Structure 1
């Protein structure tokens, strides 16, 4: 289905950004048993972003503590805007605002977040965008609250009118059960000003709580490129679903009716939690910032291979690895804890 008139546009992640939004882990979240290790990951991530000359908008339940940790790690606070809010969790990709550009500039879309289909408490996460706006985090940028249940990690945009998503996530009955696929597609096309949606019917990672978010599986990159999580080990439980997903991607066509350039990422070696459950390690969960791409790593021999492949997709950016073994203990990774804020939204951003 296509949208014949598109007055608004959902930019691609690699377009100019003002800032990256994160929510610092605190003892009232599921991070409590891993808090020190989680804070180390956040410090490394924030340091990489700010050293690249980019601003960070940081939600902090205890700003005094967070400031002390950052200062102890010698991370400059000059490019960090701290906002005193307590969230249920830290996955800003899914409860943070999604920014579109319209005739009058940027607008923040605030969708309903229900904890990935009512799996987890999300009352405070669901109001985080509105509270940030009330605190002035987004300046005078308008915020539009929408009744649709939608997470940022479930949608990819190429910035040119094409969205990429998964059927397993968006069509689950615990999100928008009153909408048919056709009705949901119409709504998404209207809200994002898109021309079409590419739906993946295959692909899933064990240990993923999100019902197959697209940002764990396949990502748009410049020049009609899709970077995707592959699997070449026929004995791995991911082999069949990821092979089927790869075939689907091979059948997709660009808006100009050409095949996409497909870059396959190696699958990290299996990692497990203390209860023996497999964790959703994926290289597809990378974050694009203005001058760099931050790539999750897992102390795996394939880390360097994945970084090289992603570097081919983003040749004008520096590739920076971030050890995300702690993050996957809570079933997410680097892209999941971040949300880019596009150019024109954040006051005083470069």
Structure 2
């Protein structure tokens, strides 16, 4: 961890529970990686789009914008904007804009959209269209009049968690991956996060990764802020599971953490999902209940078709968010491309649309 005086940090990375103006998603393309599972995933996206639109407008990136606008019109035209997009994949969390709020000589916070470079999770997949998606949507007016700043550093939205008060949570496995920013040391990456995002301290976690995860341990698959002093995290209660040892070490790391005020975090363990496997090659899929979305008084929680553990996850998150409604969305189909609910969505703060 490192700390800098807030006086030199004019930007602030808001927490996800702050007011949201819209949610950015991308419709699954027929000619993309979803082709073998297109029927299943589009049904899932229809349900997810409807759930999002109960709580915020939806910005939907699409290669066939006009057709999708007509297909989804029944969800509510006044809450839906479909934008023509070069995006190839659906994981808008990782290539969508990261919004910071700036104080420019007054108490009013003004939004700035940061367009970090996206290279397909360290060059694992072709990502040129995804890397261009944010700038294309901005040029099309999707984000109102908010300015856009291009950042050459590789950074995915799912790799960082903010408490809205200057603390950033991430994993060393992901951000120090040599396939992302090989020219930068850990100290230089941390300095860049502090500078671009306006955070005051960066907490690096060194343990925990899900089998089948191709993000190199995104934090949003493992640990999430529920309030500045509360963390929900993946816990494995099966000592025979190959991931149990690493997740136990992650739990120990969290128990040792302290807030900026020196207090221990309130820790809420999330249940261990029942193992799911790919139908084609039998590889384990990275199911996780940590991949939830906080959205204007609601928490959208992924479920995976196993009621006992799905309901246990919803109960745990109800304790973390007592003032929110908890809504489940079946995300079993999203696992087939190694993602889930949070990965498929990116919140755009309300300040962008004031």
Q: Secondary structure at the match of 2:275?
A: coil
Q: Does structure 2 retain, via aligned residues, the 8 Å contact 1:19–1:55?
A: yes
Q: Secondary structure at the match of 2:190?
A: helix
After superposition, what is the alpha-carbon deviation per residue over 1:146-176, rounded to whole angstroms, capped at 9, x for unaligned? 1100000000000000000000000010000
Q: How far 1:103 sits from its partner (Å)?
A: 1.6
Partner of 1:90: 90
- 1:269 and 2:274 matched: yes
- 1:322 and 2:323 matched: no
The number of residue pairs the alignment matches comes to: 344
Distance 2:83 2:349 in 1: 19
Distance 2:16 2:70 in 1: 31
Distance 1:318 1:111 in 2: 32
* Root-mean-square deviation over aligned CA pairs: 1.0
Q: Does structure 2 retain, via aligned residues, the 8 Å contact 1:227–1:313?
A: yes
Q: How far 1:60 sits from its partner (Å)?
A: 1.2
After superposition, what is the alpha-carbon deviation per residue over 1:276-324, rounded to whole angstroms, capped at 9, x for unaligned? 1000000000001012110000012200010011111111111000101
Matched ranges for 1:46-61 at <5 A: 46-52=49-55, 54-61=56-63
Partner of 1:75: 75
Distance 1:35 1:78 in 2: 27
Q: Secondary structure at the match of 1:21?
A: strand
Q: How far 1:342 sits from its partner (Å)?
A: 0.4
Q: Does structure 1 retain, via aligned residues, the 8 Å contact 2:222–2:233?
A: yes
Q: Does structure 1 retain, via aligned residues, the 8 Å contact 2:69–2:81?
A: no
Distance 2:213 2:312 in 1: 23
Q: Does structure 2 retain, via aligned residues, the 8 Å contact 1:21–1:56?
A: yes
- Return 219-228 or 328-337, whichever deviates more: 219-228
Matched ranges for 1:129-148 at <5 A: 129-148=134-153
What TM-score does the superposition give when structure 2 sets the normalisation length? 0.95
Distance 2:165 2:351 in 1: 19
- 1:176 and 2:178 matched: no
Partner of 1:298: 304
* Counterpart among 66, 85, 108 of residue 64 in structure 1: 66
Partner of 1:33: 36
Moved over 3 A (4+): none
Partner of 1:279: 285
Distance 2:71 2:143 in 1: 25
After superposition, what is the alpha-carbon deviation per residue over 1:19-77, rounded to whole angstroms, capped at 9, x for unaligned? 0000000112101111111111111111112123x100111111233234324xx4222
* Counterpart among 38, 45, 48 of residue 48 in structure 2: 45
Cα distance change on mapping 1:86 and 1:129 into 2, 3 Å: same
* Counterpart among 218, 221, 238 of residue 226 in structure 2: 221
Partner of 2:9: 6
Q: Secondary structure at the match of 1:269?
A: coil
Partner of 2:120: 115
- 1:240 and 2:241 matched: no
Distance 1:249 1:291 in 2: 26
- 1:310 and 2:317 matched: yes
Cα distance change on mapping 1:2 and 1:223 into 2, 3 Å: closer
